[in-house]
Each structure stands twice: as structure tokens, then as C-alpha cells.
Amino acid sequence: MTATLTKLDVDTPYALKAEQIAFFREEGYIKLKDAVAPEVLEHYGREITRKVKELNTQHAPMEQRSTYQKAFLQIMNIWTKSEVVKEFVFGKRLARIAADLLGTSGVRLYHDQALYKEPGGGLTPWHADQYYWPLATPLTVTAWIPLQATPIELGPLSFAAKSQRFKHGRGVSEISDESERELARMLRERNFELVEEPFDLGEVSFHYGWTFHRAAANVSDRAREVMTIIYMDQDMRVAEPQNKNQRHDLEGWLPGLKPGDLAASPLNPVIFTRE
């Protein structure tokens, strides 16, 4: 496979339907089959895995880790450390889907992150991503991109459908035993539907920053390898941080910016914009 063909594969538009956009906006998530070609996953996944192994600093035995540490190996902004990964993260195919789902004129990058759940890795507790982000509007979306077919035993992502509007649980959204316990109770009491399904090879999910989600433990003997790309409205503004995690994110992923600024640091380029 040539680099040119691979690059075309990450830019070619996906045939997103109006009913799929409507589903996403109502349910808070969507899973799209054949969003990424298998050969593209193989090509870029090889480099993503290589960088995860190179950059990982978590080597403690599973029994000595916190709940958060058991959930996954987490490596962020790999695009800044590999030109090959940058090609994938800067691909317009997934970014165009994100803009269409959000209904924005374009999207810029918040950051990428690899989430590798090791064999025997624990559950990823209930949480909402935007709890961590000092961003002014809910026009954010995470693309969750498994690098292999992901059956239930590997711990695929699951969603609380329609929970993007559920504001009562946002104060306990930090990933922890408490978030798993309290959010599970709140979501159950309000009868939010749990959507827990395997992912086919090439299937990608998108969810709003405020959609509550979790992932079960990996009970298999192989790693669950996932790449994620977080997109935001290209006109997003920085918000006043509401917790210590948002203060950390402001410094790390929006360097040099302050509340009220356009979220456009050198780490947040526009990936797709409409002509």
C-alpha cells in the first residue's frame, strides 16, 4: 500500500445520512460501520501501537494500580510525536463526520489519545468527557476508533442513550469508583438505556462530550487497542475552568490561552472546514 492511497482513505468523505445525524443529536452517540477501512487501521494502528509501547510509563502490576490506572494505558497527543500518526489524526474523513454531526462549519482538534485496555484491565467507570474540558459550549465530540474488531469480552465502549442532557451527574464525572457507583445509580433511577454492543472492524463511534459512557473490563488474553480523536467546534471559546482537571487541561491542551479566547493554540488546528 502506498502512502498516497492511505492518505486518500483518511480524507474521502463518508456517506453520512440525515437520519444518522438526527439519531446522534437525539441519542447522544452513534456507531458508524465501515467508517475506517481495515487496511487504514492496520497501517496506522501499527504506528500507534509502536508509540504507545514507546511512550507508556505505566508498568506497575495491575493489582497495585488505581481504578483509573487499571482501566487503560492512556497516551495523549501522539500526533505531535509521529508524522505517521499525524496523517491519521489530521484526516478529513472523520473530521467531516464530526462537523456534520455537530452541525458546525468546521472542527478543530482538542487532542488525540490512545486508550489501550490490557488483558485483565479493569472497567472504565461511568463518566462524561467534557467534565475535564474548559470549553464554553457542548459542541464537542469524541471519535472512538477501535483498531481491531472489539467483542464484548475486550470491553467496548457503551453509552447511556440520551444522557447528554443529564446535568445532575456532572459533578461526579471524574473517572473513579465513586463515578461508577453514583452515576450508575443516577442513570438507572432515571431509566437511561444502556447501549453495550460489540464493534465490527472499521466501526467507529461518536459521542457528545456530555454523553455518559463506560467500558467493561477486558476479560480476554489480548489488548483492546483504541485510538480516539476529540473534535470541537472550530469557533469554540475557552471557558473559565470549573475544577482542577479543567485547569490542568487549560495548561496542557490549550497552552497560552485564557478564558474567552478562541480555542486555537498551536495544539488545536482546524482539521476540517467547509469551503
Burial annotation 61-77 (CB, 10 A radius, 16+ → b, else e): eeeeeebbebbbbebbb
Q: DSSP for 72-105?
A: -EEEE-GGGT-HHHHHHHT-HHHHHHHHHHHT-S
pLDDT tens readout for residues 28-40: 999 999 999 999 9
59 backbone dihedrals φ, ψ, rounded to 5°: -125, 5
Nearest by Cα to 205 from 152, 142, 154: 142
The residue-averaged pLDDT of 38-59 equals 92
Q: Which of 63-77, 78-92, 174-188 has the lowest mean pLDDT?
A: 63-77
**Domain-embedded: residue 144:** yes
**Domain-embedded: residue 24:** no
- 180's grid cell: 461508577
Segment holding 73, helix H or strand E: strand 73-76
* Cα dihedral: 216, 171, 143, 199 (round 10): 20
- 115's grid cell: 486508550
CA distance 261 to 162: 30
The residue-averaged pLDDT of 151-180 equals 91
Is the pLDDT confidence value at 6 over 90? no
CA distance 7 to 9: 5
Please report the sign of the dihedral spanned by the C-alpha atoms of residue 124, residue 127, residue 132, residue 137.
Answer: positive
Number of domains, the chain = 1
pLDDT tens readout for residues 121-161: 988 999 999 999 999 999 999 999 999 999 999 999 999 99
CA distance 270 to 108: 4
Q: Which of 21-30, 65-74, 150-159 has the lowest mean pLDDT?
A: 65-74
CA distance 70 to 73: 8
Give me the chain's average pLDDT, please.
93
Within 10 angstroms of residue 177's Cβ, the number of other Cβ atoms is 12
**Domain-embedded: residue 16:** no
Contacts of 176 by beta carbon, 8 Å cutoff, 6+ apart:
67, 68, 125
CA distance 192 to 215: 16
pLDDT at 3: 40
**Domain-embedded: residue 23:** no
- pLDDT bucket at 70, cuts 50 / 70 / 90: low
CA 99 to chain centre: 15
Nearest by Cα to 145 from 241, 49, 271: 49
pLDDT above 90: percentage of residues in the chain: 84
**Domain-embedded: residue 255:** yes
- pLDDT bucket at 174, cuts 50 / 70 / 90: confident
**Domain-embedded: residue 270:** no
What phi-psi label fits residue 160: left (phi over 0), alpha (psi between -120 and 50 degrees) or beta? beta
pLDDT at 5: 41
pLDDT above 70: percentage of residues in the chain: 95
Q: What CATH number should be reported for the domain holding residue 66?
A: 2.60.120.620
Within 10 angstroms of residue 243's Cβ, the number of other Cβ atoms is 14
**Domain-embedded: residue 41:** yes
- 109's grid cell: 482538534
CA distance 265 to 253: 8
pLDDT at 248: 96
Is the pLDDT confidence value at 255 over 70? yes
**Domain-embedded: residue 150:** yes
Domain that holds residue 71: 3-11+31-264
